[in-house]
Structure 1
């Protein structure tokens, strides 16, 4: 199951293993992205199939629409966000468990860490093979490796306004307190703006000590933990 996927995907190998004839799926011509790196994927069609979680004593079943694809994958199907929403699934990726409400209590689906590691290795091998296909050489040709030199790129990466600006002092007693305004403002509007900034210069925080009147709770990050709970790595 992939909570980040917006589709339910079914591979043709899985369809064949389920002995479902290819004539049963309906046509679906709209492409989707994110499955094959840098390319569109066109499904062969779509099919509605029942999906069930749980055992005979406590199970939950819903009908879902799957997009059929004819390329290799390390999984049988991929159940995406539509499945999560319809089943109201709560995942726990740390313990590899899925939980959902059933007619007779909570349904818990578990997996083994060794199985998850095997799937990850197969997925990496399939992804590497797809990237190295002759159909995708333009990815390597059109992409250029860029190594940033921090010392040289600091000025180019710094904030740069889109329009020309000029510095204006707003505190006669302290010439270091400057603000920047547009150079193309009409004279009347510029005078009104400078007068407004000068009249409200006390609201500017030039340094952290200028914010001493603000409670710490406004800018302080806190973790609300349950007292006495056991830490989990």
Structure 2
């Protein structure tokens, strides 16, 4: 974007939800002006963004802080954002095709970023949770230090 890195403020607060199952540690934060609308009807507000050092299909993710600052009404069904402007309503929209393409690209990028070490760790966790191969699948083996409890004390059923 051609922004001087000296404008990035350090931060150590991780965030979640960008790469499934992992937290992301940002490089820092930066305040940038964001504009919605067209030359005859627009709004400009300054938003704080977390800057990350990994590839993503998104240039920016706008969430609740953006919606609150612009007083946006999102409609997820129609893929539209609506907000007030100085000369009427500003509508930001996209196509279902573009939304689908972004979702596919995001899934592909997430799959590609999983390293072999992470896959090995996942496989190790799965292997540790797997049942012991020496045990017969249908045999019942009580645990040690089992306490017997009468279910129906009148009939002495255990």
The TM-score by the shorter chain falls in which range? Answer: 0.7 to 0.9
- The answer to whether the 8 Å contact 1:73/1:123 transfers is yes
Displacement of 1:19: 0.7
Decide which of 90, 95, 111 is 1:128's aligned counterpart.
111
Structure 2 unaligned residues grouped into runs of 5+? 131-148, 152-158
Deviation at 1:30, TM superposition (A): 1.8
Q: TM-score scaled to structure 2, two decimals? A: 0.73
State the match for 1:93 in structure 2.
76
Flag the 1:23–1:135 CA change in 2: closer, same or farther, 3 A.
farther
Name 1:77's counterpart in structure 2: 60
Q: Whose RCO is larger (CA < 8 A, sep 6+)?
A: 1
> For 1:80 and 1:42, how far apart are their aligned partners in 2?
18
Residue 66 and residue 106 in structure 1: after superposition, are their counterparts in 2 closer, same or farther (change >3 A)? Answer: same
* Cα distance in structure 2, aligned partners of 1:100 and 1:111: 15
Q: How far off is 1:94 after superposition?
A: 2.1
SS for the counterpart of 2:81 is strand
Superposed CA deviations along residues 38-77 of structure 1, whole A, max 9, x for unmatched, are: 2221110110001111011111111010000011111111
Tell me what 1:139 maps to. Answer: 122
Cα–Cα, structure 1 residues 51 and 143, in superposed 2: closer, same or farther, change >3 Å? farther
Match of 2:27 in 1: 44
CA RMSD of aligned residues (A): 2.3
Is the 8 Å Cα contact of residues 99 and 107 (structure 1) preserved in structure 2?
yes
Match of 1:192 in 2: none
Which residue does 2:2 correspond to in 1? Answer: 19
How is 1:176-191 mapped onto 2 (pairs within 5 angstroms)? none
Counterparts of 1:122 and 1:73, CA distance in 2: 9
Greater C-alpha radius of gyration: 1
Equivalent pair of 1:58/1:104 in contact (CA under 8 Å): yes
Q: Which residue of 1 aligns with 2:37?
A: 54
In 2, the alpha carbon distance for the partners of 1:96 and 1:118 equals 14
Indicate the SS of the match to 2:106. Answer: helix
Displacement after TM superposition at 1:142 (Å)? 1.6
Partner Cα separation in structure 2 for residue 22 and residue 93 of structure 1: 34
Tell me how far 1:90 sits from its aligned partner. Answer: 1.1
Normalising by structure 1, we get a TM-score of 0.51
